[in-house]
Amino acid sequence: MKKYIVVAFMMTLIFTLLSACGTPKYAAVPINEDTDKCAICNMQVKDDAFAVQLTTKDGKTYKFDDIGCMNEWTGKNGLEQVGAQFVRDYNSKEWIPYETAAYVFDSSFKTPMAYGIYSFKSKQDAQKFTDEQKKGKLMTAAELKNHTWERTKGMMDMGGNHADQAHSEMNHNMQMGGDDKGMHAK
């Protein structure tokens, strides 16, 4: 009888260990400014507070220069294939899970593609930021699902020619007989 208890215990232990191994572990990957391009607008992804990324359940990572671009990708491709999403804390630039971050929106906030959303690792940090700025609406990831995701013209900013580069590429494409697909023209 004692032998059967030991065997049952060992089988339970093995089953538990094997089932834990099957759970995918997702982690944010580093940004390489020399090669990483936004999966939506094809702009350079800077290693800064606005960089975001997602990993699909099959292990493919997509990087974006603005949280609005990641939202556009999930809108086109569906959330059901997403394994994890990561955003950066505005203050520390630390990668944090999208679902646990706190967000602040204001149409006057400058972001790479003018969506005006900053992410923070805690609600307290986000509240402190809005208090200091005297503007901004606090939001959760769940509330972002109902956000309008409108871009504010003239509010693109990435320390230099990010917006100008997007505009130049769009004009070049149109001059070459192409269109502005993927350049967020609305």
Structure tokens at 134: 């005297």
41-55, 130-144, 155-169, range with the lowest pLDDT: 155-169
Q: What is the pLDDT of residue 126?
A: 98
Q: What is the pLDDT of residue 3?
A: 64
The continuous run of DSSP H or E covering 46 comes out as: none
Q: How far apart are CA 136 and CA 130, in angstroms?
A: 5
Q: Which of 88, 81, 72 is nearest to 149 (CA)?
A: 72
Q: How far apart are CA 138 and CA 33, in angstroms?
A: 30
Q: Which of 106, 112, 122 is nearest to 52 (CA)?
A: 112
Q: How far apart are CA 118 and CA 92, in angstroms?
A: 12
Q: What is the pLDDT of residue 153?
A: 77
Q: Are 159 and 169 in contact (CB under 8 A)?
A: no
Place of tokens 């699902």: 145
Q: How far apart are CA 121 and CA 136, in angstroms?
A: 16
Burial of 56 (0-12, 13-18, 19+ CB in 10 A): middle
Q: Are 138 and 106 in contact (CB under 8 A)?
A: no
pLDDT tens digit string along 3-24? 656 544 555 545 544 444 556 7
Q: Are 44 and 37 in contact (CB under 8 A)?
A: yes
Beta-carbon contacts of residue 148 (< 8 Å; ≥ 6 apart): none
Q: Are 119 and 88 in contact (CB under 8 A)?
A: yes
Beta-carbon contacts of residue 122 (< 8 Å; ≥ 6 apart): 102
pLDDT tens digit string along 91-124? 999 999 999 999 999 999 999 999 999 999 999 9
Q: How far apart are CA 172 and CA 142, in angstroms?
A: 38
pLDDT tens digit string along 68-98? 999 999 999 999 999 999 999 999 999 999 9
